[in-house]
Amino acid sequence: MNITRQLRILVVLCSGPAISLLSSPRAFGQATTSTEQHEKTEQHEVVGSVTGTVETIGRQTIVVRTEDNQYHLFSFESDIVRPKGLARGARVRVLSNETDDPSVRLATRITVLEPSPTAQPGTPIPDVAPPPKEISETERQIEKGVRRLQLGVRIGAGLDPEIFLIGVHAGIGPVFSRDFYLRPNVEFGFGELTDMLAINLEGAYRLPINIRNGRWSAYVGAGPSLNFVHQGLESRDVDFGNFTFESGLNVFSGVRFRKGTFAEVKTNLWAHSVPTLRLILGYTF
C-alpha cells in the first residue's frame, strides 16, 4: 500500500511539470504571436501628422515650423493635390510617411487650416529665424534633383581596349513617364593605342524600388552610340580624317545619390573597337 501510494504521489509530481511543459509552448506561442502582431502594427503605423506654419515651399518640398519652433522638411510627389491657399505663412496640417532619410518625410496629404496673412496686400512678412542649415541644404538638393534640365561632368575608364574617359552629360525630363529621363552625353577617351569620341543618345529609367526623392536611386538605361575611333601609334593628332566610324548600342546601370554624384557601369554592343566595359563616376550640378 505504501509503495502504491508513493507511486501515485510520484506520478502526480511528475505530471505537473509535464503538463506545464506541454502547455508552455502554446502560451509562449501566444506571447510571441502577440509580440509579432504588436511589432507588425508598429511597422505599419508610419503615418504622422504635423501642424504648423509654412516657411518655404518649392516644386517638391515644403518646410513647416511648429509652435515649438521645430522645423520639419517634407517632400511630395508631383501629382499630389496642392490645396488652394498653400503659400508661405499659411497654417497647414501635413500627413506623411517615413522615408529612407530620417530628416525627410513623404507628404501624402496637405490641408490648409488658415490662409497666409501675407495674402492680403500690405501685410508684412513675420520675422522668424530661418530653417537650420541641414534642412535648407537637403531641401536644395531635392529641388536640384527635380529640375527639368540638368548638366554634369563625368570621368572613368574603359576596358578592352584600355582608355581614360572624360565627358559631359545632360539630363532632360521626366518624359513619357515620371521615371524616364533622356541622358545625352559626349565622352572622349584616350589611351596608349586607342582614341575615341563617343556621342551617346541614351535614356535612363529610375527603378521604383524607393521614393523618388530618397537619398539614392538606382537606374538602368540604353541608347544608340555614334563612335569615332582611332587605333594605332601613328597620326595621334585629333583629326577626324584619321578616325573610323562605328555605331553601337549602349546598355548601362547605375546608382545616383541625392547630392548629385553617381556611379555607372556601361557596355556597348556591336561596336568592336570601343571599350567592352566602361566604369564611370560623375557629378550632376
User: What type of residue sits at position 285?
Assistant: F
Q: Look up the pTM and report it.
A: 0.74
Over the chain (285 residues), what is each successive 10-residue block's mean pLDDT?
Answer: 41 41 38 38 59 94 94 88 89 94 93 83 66 93 92 97 97 93 96 93 95 92 96 66 89 96 96 94 97
Chain region(s) in the chain for CATH 2.40.160.20: 149-284
Residue ranges matching CATH 2.40.50.140 in the chain: 48-145
**Nearest alpha carbon to residue 44 among 105, 97, 110:** 97
Q: Whose grid coordinates read 582614341?
A: 195
Burial of 215 (0-12, 13-18, 19+ CB in 10 A): middle
Through-space distance between the first and last CA atoms of the chain, rounded to whole angstroms: 96
- What single letter denotes the amino acid at residue 71? Y
CA-closest candidate to residue 187, choices 159, 218, 221, 164: 164
pLDDT in tens, 125-180: 666 778 899 999 999 999 998 899 999 999 999 999 999 999 999 999 999 998 99
Predicted pLDDT at 78: 73
User: Which stretch of DSSP H or E encloses residue 35?
Assistant: helix 2-44
| Strands in the chain per DSSP E | 48-57, 61-65, 71-75, 91-98, 104-114, 149-159, 163-172, 180-190, 194-206, 216-231, 244-257, 261-269, 277-284
| Burial track 248-261 (b if 16+ CB lie within 10 A, e otherwise) | bebebbbebbbeee
Residue pointed to by grid coordinates 511648429: 66
Which grid coordinates belong to 237? 593628332
pLDDT at 35 (0 to 100): 38
pLDDT at 15: 43
What is the model's pLDDT at position 234? 67
pLDDT at 133: 93
Q: Which residues pair with 114 in a beta bridge?
A: 91
Tell whether domain 149-284 is in CATH 2.160.10.10.
no
- Please give the pLDDT value at position 119: 57
The CATH number of domain 48-145 is 2.40.40.20: no
